[in-house]
Amino acid sequence: MNSAELIIRNMRRKELDTLVEWAAEEGWNPGTSDADIFWATDPDGFIAAELSGEMIGGGSIVSYDGQYGFMGFFIIHPDHRSHGLGNILWHERLKRLMERLDKPAMIGMDGVFDMQAYYAKGGFEFAHRDLRFEGKGESFSTPKGIVELGEIPYADVAAYDRAHFPAPREEFLRRWINQPGAHAKASLRDGRLTGFGVMRPCRSGYKIGPLFADDASAANDLFRALAGQVTGEPVFLDVPENNPAALAIVQLHRMQEVFGCAKMYFGPKPILQDQQIFGVTSFELG
């Protein structure tokens, strides 16, 4: 196989659907609206590798307002692995993303564990593990202080999100909250926003993310309110291992660890309120 014939280019919209299908085949369980939301967030943020007129790999290089980049969705089709093509694609994606960001470039990723050493060679430093837990939706009564997220002024929601994500992402967040089949809840105390969570439908069950809250009590109330919407259905939560209170919640609900990724950063690491991040938004776009 001649790697010199490999073409690296911007992805076309329909090709992102193909990439999502490949992700599903890898067991990543994408959301049912992920492709539409991801593309709308940054149409220039998806790169394809083409060989003999066929897309054989791809990945995201999404820029959030030039302040923060995220590399995800890195897949080479199984028929084309072990030929060095993924290495070419990965380095070209990093180069292109750095060109899209302000200097110094700050880039994050959630990489599968067996690729962690490879990403480290490319300049990424390990921060912590993000662990996926699976449970079942249970019929909880709605905890006191939990309301529909739509009742909260959107500016307040966006500001709360900004304290827990490295860059503004208001348009992405608006689409994420309002996607078909999603549930979104807020936690209020004395009229003040103390957390919010979104749960979206996926190929299998539902994923909760983001789940941000001032403390474990608010986070657990949000989890119960969301999981209570889908009794008996699989529910997944991607938990940062550097937040012990988040791990305690999944243990409380007898959830089982089923997957995980290494959170890694290139360039400066973002300063976030880690102890208030109970569930990350996604492994594909951060």
* Domain finish residue from 75, 99, 129: 129
229 in any annotated domain: yes
Do 141 and 37 share a structural domain?
no
170 in any annotated domain: yes
SS3 of 59, please? strand
Do 119 and 138 share a structural domain?
no
Residue 184 contacts residue 220 (beta carbons within 8 Å) = no
Tokens standing for residue 47: 């790169």
Do 207 and 109 share a structural domain?
no
Q: What is the CATH number of the domain that holds 256?
A: 3.40.630.90
Handedness of CA 180, 186, 192, 193 (dihedral sign): negative
What pLDDT sits at residue 1? 54
- CA 3 vs CA 10, 90, 103, 107: distances in Å: 18, 14, 31, 27
Do 216 and 184 share a structural domain?
yes
284 in any annotated domain: no
Instruction: Pick the closest to residue 275 from 195, 169, 156 (CA basis).
Output: 195
User: pLDDT (tens digit, 0 to 9) for every residue of the chain, 286 residues total?
Assistant: 556 699 999 999 999 999 999 999 999 999 999 999 999 999 999 999 999 999 999 999 999 999 999 999 999 999 999 999 999 999 999 999 999 999 998 999 999 999 999 999 999 999 999 999 999 999 887 888 999 999 999 999 999 999 999 999 999 999 999 999 999 999 999 999 999 999 999 999 999 999 999 999 999 999 999 999 999 999 999 999 999 999 999 999 999 999 999 999 999 999 999 999 999 999 999 9
Cα–Cα distance for residue pair 251/240, rounded to 1 Å: 14
**Across the strands, what pairs with 264?**
109, 126
Do 101 and 87 share a structural domain?
yes
For tokens 């919407």, name the residue: 229
Do 122 and 29 share a structural domain?
yes
Backbone Cα Rg of the chain: 19
Do 115 and 206 share a structural domain?
no
Instruction: Pick the closest to residue 211 from 230, 196, 229 (CA basis).
Output: 196
Do 139 and 99 share a structural domain?
no
Domain extent, residue 266, equals 131-279
Do 31 and 168 share a structural domain?
no
Do 38 and 20 share a structural domain?
yes
Domain count, the chain: 2
285 in any annotated domain: no
17 in any annotated domain: yes
